[in-house]
Amino acid sequence: MAKVSFREDRCKGCGLCVEVCPKKIVELKKNLLNAKGYHPAGVTDMDKCIGCAFCATICPDCVIKVEK
């Protein structure tokens, strides 16, 4: 099992993480706006996360921490 945590206040809603997640479990939270006015990214189904850290690797803002 792996765990991914997002510093939602740092996210700029660029969407790059959404593209690269091999499990397609990362998405921008349409129902949430962070202080900067962006829809922050988040994981929909943590159980499917394999901890590959693709999302964190392509994130330009160090929003994502990955544990495994």
Residue with smaller CB distance to another protein, 1 or 31: 1
Residues 4-19 as b/e (b if ≥16 CB within 10 A, e otherwise) read bebebebbbebebbbe
* 6 is a contact residue toward another protein (CB under 8 A): no
Q: What are phi and psi of 23, to 5 degrees?
A: -100, 0
Binding residues among 24-43 for another protein as defined by CB under 8 A:
38
Nearest to 17 by CA among 34, 38, 42, 48: 42
- What's the min distance (Å) between Cβ of 25 and another protein? 16
Contact set with another protein (CB under 8 A): 1-3, 10, 12-16, 19-20, 38, 51, 53-54, 56-62, 64-68
